[in-house]
Amino acid sequence: MSEEPTSETGTSKVLELERKFSINENSERKLQEVGASCLREKSFEDSYYDSVDYQLTLSDYWLRKREGNWELKSPPEKRKPESDVAQYIETTNAGEIVQYLSAILKTDPTHAGDNADQIAKFVEKTGLQPFAVFRTNRKTYTMEGGFQIDLDETDFGYKVGEIELIVHQNEDVAAALEKIDTLAEKLEFSKPTRILGKMDVYLMQHNPSHYNKLLEAHVLFNKHSKAV
């Protein structure tokens, strides 16, 4: 897997940096006070896929289908473990996704079809199955500097917010992490010992065995949460 995301023509990889925060009755007011603008409100369903023995997620690879569109989140080779910000490479190119999945599952990556059809056929042939399916209602705010702030509420009753920045080169990560922390302080989002991500809570409720395996494999940590 490539060491760093790139913005060259024909690729579809970016490095996504996310910091979660707890939503309360003052969250939207604070966002408006610092000049954030509400971009949109939407609802969507996510389905996450893995093998029966969880080969993908135990390697920290997260294959997601959202409203018919496939995406793979994978760990960067140079992740800053001391950061409270989740760091993942996002890939949407069908051919690249199949190549990465094939390497983990040790299968033949050659399958007919293009785009989503290529991934769907690969998923069917390798027997990948959805292990998490849930719907999210999201309100998205944007701010100067490329920030996106999402306020999410799931159909299993969990609410969480995320500050997000996208970078295209590894050398930009440190500065982006600092910007996220600065904005979090401005918004008075204090550093938590742990903010659970949607996947944490979903698996704790619906598949605690899978959740415990991720803890044992150090994919999930006591002081970090899954931002997928």
pLDDT for 5 equals 36
- Between 191 and 57, name the one with better pLDDT: 57
In whole angstroms, what is the distance from residue 224 CA to residue 68 CA? 29
DSSP labels, 77-143: SS--TT-SSEEEEEE--HHHHHHHHHHHHT-----SS-HHHHHHHHHHHHT-EEEEEEEEEEEEEEE
- Each residue's pLDDT tens digit, 149-190: 999 999 999 999 999 999 888 888 889 988 988 888 888 876
> Domain limits of the chain?
14-216
In whole angstroms, what is the distance from residue 207 CA to residue 54 CA? 12
pLDDT for 208 equals 96
Q: Nearest 5°: phi and psi at 177?
A: -60, -40
- Each residue's pLDDT tens digit, 59-110: 999 999 999 999 999 988 766 555 567 789 999 999 999 999 999 999 987 6
- Each residue's pLDDT tens digit, 188-225: 876 555 789 999 999 999 999 999 999 999 898 644 45
pLDDT for 9 equals 33
pLDDT for 7 equals 34
- Each residue's pLDDT tens digit, 96-140: 999 999 999 999 876 555 577 899 999 999 999 999 999 999 999
> 14-216 maps to which CATH number?
2.40.320.10
In whole angstroms, what is the distance from residue 28 CA to residue 49 CA? 33
Q: Are 105 and 2 in contact (CB under 8 A)?
A: no
